[in-house]
Structure formats: structure tokens, C-alpha cells
Structure 1
Amino acid sequence: MTSARRAPGIAPARLPAEELAANFSDLHPRFGDHEALVAADRCYFCHDAPCTLACPTEIDIPMFIREIQGGHPKSAARTIFDQNILGGMCARVCPTETLCEEACVRMTAEGDPVEIGRLQRYATDALMAENGHPYSRAPETGKRVAVVGAGPAGLACAHRLAMRGHAVTVYEARPRPGGLNEYGIAAYKAVDGFAQAEVDWLLRIGGIEIVEGRLGEGLTLDALAADHEAVFLGVGLAAVNALRAEGEDLAGVQDAVDWIAALRQAPDYESVPVGRNVVVIGGGMTATDAAIQSARLGAEQVTLVYRRDREAMAASDFEVELAAASGARVITNARPVRVLGEGRAQSIEFEYTESGPEGLTGTGETFALPADHVMKAIGQTLSPPAGLEIEGGKIKVDVNGRTSRAWVWAGGDCATGGDDLTVSAVAQGRDAAESIAASMRDSSN
């Protein structure tokens, strides 16, 4: 183990198995019954409920907390699932510190919000542990809808359509459904295979079939539109932005999203390779997840570098502080110039930046970091489907998720309004499903 820990370059098993298991244990363990009651008692049950207004899926948070307080966690779960069928995962991965908990009155008054996320997990776990499914299908309508992408938006859309009695075929390009929840979330946020367990639970409603298929590779929008009454696109963002720095093609430089996906699908953490000196470039959740997990895998030095100042980082204060607590150094106002090395990355040079009237500019002052493993987390882009209007690099949709093409809807990260959050994708998929169902009902009258 000592040789693995000190091995140059990118190598697996830098830490013993027991240490890795501890490093990747549950970030926020489930409340016990007494803990949940104590946490629920802190809620003021505000009439105007600023927490609910801050939730993209508009869960009635005071209601479900009151149901927990009354000893009815399964009823609380139903209140959650009525709005957010992926409420179990959202309880684990939502940046509650910038959404419902930031809006909590106790946060405003005391700087200590009600632990809404953990209460949500307590409730949803209780109901999901039961056999069966809390929702049943309406009588079959005979109408068929295609959903492209089995991520949060696609799954939420499919479930709501199945509830309305429609038959849904979900086309998924990857081996497992789940999208971001399965491939893009830090492992310590969704332990014990929860992402797949949640998909299996969701599918218990019936009426949803998941098949292999990738848009543009034998699967066309024209063919889907011809074979179904409606189409929903939840294809996410597949392409990663280029670093645009010399040496980007050296061995040891990779996309952070690919590395995180490989970590999530690995049979064990000992098999996941990581460098001794890791540099992650970016300022969002993917960047912090990559930095934190690199440190927890045993990287000797981890540095997260972002080109703008701290206030411009998309990652929340909690995520940045977690990265620092895990051992990562955070450097802001620096952009990559070149990756240096003979055949593979050995160091990376940066230039300090500053913001001014002309935007972001370099100062001319540079510095270098040792780097045998460079991860790019600088955003993803859409591979746009043909025949749809694109705005700002995403599929243009209206408030109901309608695209510029009749009978085609879209939601999640691929659509305008998407913001790389599971909870927002769920809201868009759910609302698009209601719009699709209403449109099909109107067309039949």
C-alpha cells in the first residue's frame, strides 16, 4: 500500500480499503426517529413559507415537516413525492444551503436553518422502504410518448405521464438509467446504490419501458415524432468545453465528468486511479466534487483553480468549504496557460486574472503547479438536435417546456432554464408531462 500511495502519475489504491470506505461514507446520514422529531420541532410552520417558494419543485415544506412532527413520515413522503418524484435523491444532493434552507426564517434570524434536506430524506426513505409504489396509473389512454434521456427530467416526465395512463418509452444511451444522479453525483452523496434503487422504485408504477437509444445514432426526432403522439427531450449536455490551453492533449488531462462517472461505476474505490498532484479547473459543483473525491481517494496535493473570483463560482459556500476541509487548496482569479510535460502532464502554468471594464483579462503574472492529473470542469455544451430552435446554446422552450417544433417538449440541462440541478430538472420534466397530457387531451376533444 505504501508503494501505491507514493506511486508517481495516476494510480489506484493510494489508501487502504478501510480508509477509503470511511472517506466515502454517507455525507449526511439518515435521521433516527428522535432526531427527526427534534429537527421538525424547530420549524415555525410559516404561513408564507419562504422555504417552499425557494424550492424549484414547490414542495409544501411546512406541511411535510408537520406530518413528521405528528409521527406520520410516510404521509410526509407522499406530500414530497406529489411534487417531486425524485425527492429521495434531491434530499441527498440538493444544495439546500442555497435553496430552501437559505430561505428558512431560522436561518435569517439565527443563522441556523431547519435541516429540511435531512428531514426530507427521513420521510422519503420511510416510504420507499415499503413494497409496492404509492401511486397507481389512470386507465390506459392508448397514447404513446417517447422520452429521450433517462435522467432526472426524463424520469420525472415519464412517471407523471404514466400516472395519467399514457404508455412511455424512455430511450437511454448509457448502460444504466439515472443520468446525472447515476453518473455525475459525488459518490459520498448517494451511497449504497441509491440512484439505481430510486429508478427501480419509480418504475414500479408501470407503463414505462426503458430501451437503449441515442438521438442522432439510429434514433431520429422525425422517426420518434411519427411513432408517438409526443416527444420529450431530456438529453442533458454531452460535450465538454475545451480548455484551449497548450498541452491539453497530454496524457493525464481528462474531463472531470468522465472521471466522476468512472468512479461512480467502479466496483470499488481501490480500483479508481487518481494522481498524486491533482489540479481541477473550474468553479462549479463538478469541480468541487472532483476535487473532494480526489482528496478522499488519497491524492497527495489537490488544487482547485477558477478563473474568476470566489463570488462568481457556481459552487455553493458549503461545497467549497467541504473541498477545503477535505484537503483541497482553492485558488481564484487564475486561468490555465499551458500544461507541461514529456508525453504526459507534469505541471500546469496559470496566469493571474482580474475583472475590469473590458471583462476578464490576464495580469501577465504567472505561476506553476505540479500536476500529474489535470481535470477539466469548465462546463458542458449541447449537441443540438436538428430542426429545433436553439437559444444560448440550449434548446429554446416556453414555460411549459414546448420547443419550436410541434409535439416536442424538452427539459433539464439541455433546455433553456436548466441550471445543472436535479431538482430543477425534475420540475421541468414534471411540468412538461402535464403540458403534454393536457395537449393530447385537448387534441382528442
Structure 2
Amino acid sequence: MALVRESREHDRLSSAYCPDIKAVSIEVTREVTLTLDVPSFRVTEGSCEAAEFSSSLPEIVSAHATFKAAMQSDTGSGDPFYEACIAEVRAISLCFPDIKSDFLRIAFTAWLAFACIMDDILEVMPLKDRESTLLECIQIIKDTLDYLPSHLVPITAQCRDGRIQNITRLLYNHCVQYLPQASARAFFEAVCVVLEAHIDEVRFLQGRVPNNFSTYITIRSRTIALNPFFEVIKTEFLAETEWQFNSAWEKLQLEVSRVAGLQNDLIGLARDLEDGEQLNAITVLMRSYGGIDKAELNSALLSWCIAEVSAEHNQGITRCLYYASQLHLTAKELGLQGAAMDTTEFVVRHILLLCETHLKWCASSKRYSVKSCISQRHSIHPDSPFLPTVCDSYTRVAMVKGTPYADGSEGNIGTTSDSRTESQLESSV
């Protein structure tokens, strides 16, 4: 476990409930540098000596290695395998620096690994087989939820390619050992929603649902697979009183997931263009203007679409802050105070942190250089900690009468933008 001893935990340096907004610049190609806004909780890598919970890393890595080896039985057990296990454990440490429970971190790391392996299998699986496979996985989970916590699922393959079904059973058997019953139920119900989103993804590719940006992003906000984390965190920490305004929690969760999905697509754009990947926010937007011919890529349109999706991301950050502020105000109106209010703010911070940490993880996993500074584009109203009062014209967001936008809409892409012609788009770049 020498590799584990060299690993470091991550810490959140800012304890402020109202974070600054920083602009992060990421150079993804020589021609393309992204500038994205994120709330700054100043999550950094700590030293091995200073990390209070580093002593538990060997146990977490060991549990994860056992699970990962079962999912990838053809993988060796040498240093590369353990390096991959440690990288996934550290990714959870980065994304959830305030989660210190070993059991939660083991379950979270398992879900991360499962989601990545499932994506890899789905990518090479014939499109016609994906929907039935995913439906079987959903049924496997639903058939077992009533037997929580002790019932284990037999590991058998029924279909020609039963790999995803098998790793679904492995995920279930692994996580029910570590999650309390209520959290396990919330987790696997959210997992089913992710699997259903992948079915919608198949239908999107087959043209069975509208092939446009707004449809794509509703799917992407679920396939990004963050909600199982959020549902466990809520179940673990929120009291019954805080569940009274669950619709407000869901708005924040959805918006953070939208933001993370756009981050993933923006960071992965270069590779997706090279591979001809259809499921990317930028390529979906370009297709609506007929500008995705790989042989002759419309560079002006590409630049415009990158700018539009980046702006949509930054609008999403503003919406995240708005929904977080609404949660705070709703809790206050319901009379929450003291420890109850502290818990609400604690869970809000867990969810909102993903806007910063997910971007950092995406960029680091692709070895991109990241530069950041505190942006002057936003300021925070002192009486409503997450509500921005000043917005840059680039984000085109108006905060009027308690709604994220002056017209109450959920975004510009796919509405006003789609009505413009390609020549107008080129002239605007």
C-alpha cells in the first residue's frame, strides 16, 4: 500500500456560506480556451501529514479494489490497477471533501467506477441492444429494493452480453454492505433514474425523441450521474423538517447536474470531435445549423457554439446560486434555526461544491492546465448569501422579481439562439 501512503486528501479551505465566484480558464486546444465561472470554495490538495482522515485511505482503497476487481475480472492486480483504484478514491475526496465517512466514500467510489465502466460498455454495444440491457438492470434493482438490507442478488448472466447486468448486481451487493437501509434505497432509486436517462439517450440517438439542445441537456443532466450522490447526502444528513421543501432541493440538484454535464462536454470537446461523438452539447448545437461535417468543420460556427454553451454554463452557475439562496430563505421562512439551519447550509454546500470540484476533476483527468482568479463579474448580496446582484453582460442573466431570468425562462440556447441563420451566426463571431 505504498501508493496509498503517497496519496493526499482534499480539503475545503473556505468555510464561507456565500462563496466568491471565480473565472476558470482552461486551454483545451491551441485555438480554444474556455472561461467558466464556478463558486470558489477553495478546495485544495492537502499534505499527507496534515490530512486528518488519511489513515482510513488503505481500508477505502482495499474495499474499492475488491469491488473493481470483481467488475473487471480480466484486469491484473499490479500497480496500474491499484493506481486506477486510488485515482477513483481521490476523485471522490476531491468532489466531496467534506464527506469523511468511510462507508459513504466506499459507496461513492463504487458508483463512480460503475458509471465509468458502464459508459465504456455502452459505447461499444450495438444501439439496438442498449435499451433492453438497461431495462433489465433497472428491473434487477427494483426487484431487490424491497429486500433491503440483507438480500443479495445472484451474479448470473442471462443475455448474450450480460456485463452491465452483472456489474449492476455487483454494485448492489457491494453498496448495501456500507449504506444504511434508507440511504441505500434512496441511492438505488436515483441509480434507476440514471439508467432511465441512458435509455432516453438511446432514443435520442435513434431519433425517437427531438434531436435538439434542450432535449439533450435534460438527458445529460441525468446521465452525468450525480443525483445518487446527492440523494444519499440528503438522506444521511437532513431531518424530516428539511424534507418539507424537497422540490427546492431538487431544483438545485438538477441545476448543478446541468452545469456538470456542460463542463464534461466542454472539457471533452476536442476528443469528441475527433471521435465523431454525437452526444456533446456543442456538437448537438452545431448539428442544428448543419455545421458538424467532420471533413470540413465550420470553425466560425464551432467558436460560436463553444461561446454559447460556455455562456449557458455560466448562466447555470447563476441559477445554482439563486436556487441555493432560495433554499436558505425557505428554511428561514419555515422557522429553521440553529443546528437545523446549519444542517441545511451544510447539505447545500455539499451539492454546490460539485460546480467547482467536478470541473477541477474533469480538467485534471485530461491533464489540462487550469488557471483561475476571483471574478469581478458577480457580487453576493449579504442578506441572501447565494443571490448574485451584479452579472456580466456575457452571461445575459437578469434577476427580476425572484426568478432567474427576467422572462422566467430556463435559458437562451434552443430558443432565441436557434432562430438565427448560419450566416448571422458567422457574422456574430
Question: Could you state the TM-score of these two structures normalised by the residue count of structure 1?
Answer: 0.26
Question: Could you state the TM-score of these two structures normalised by the residue count of structure 2?
Answer: 0.26
Q: Which has the higher contact order (CA 8 A, sep 6+)?
A: 2
Could you say which structure has the higher helix fraction? Answer: 2
Instruction: Give the number of the structure whose alpha-carbon radius of gyration is greater.
Output: 1
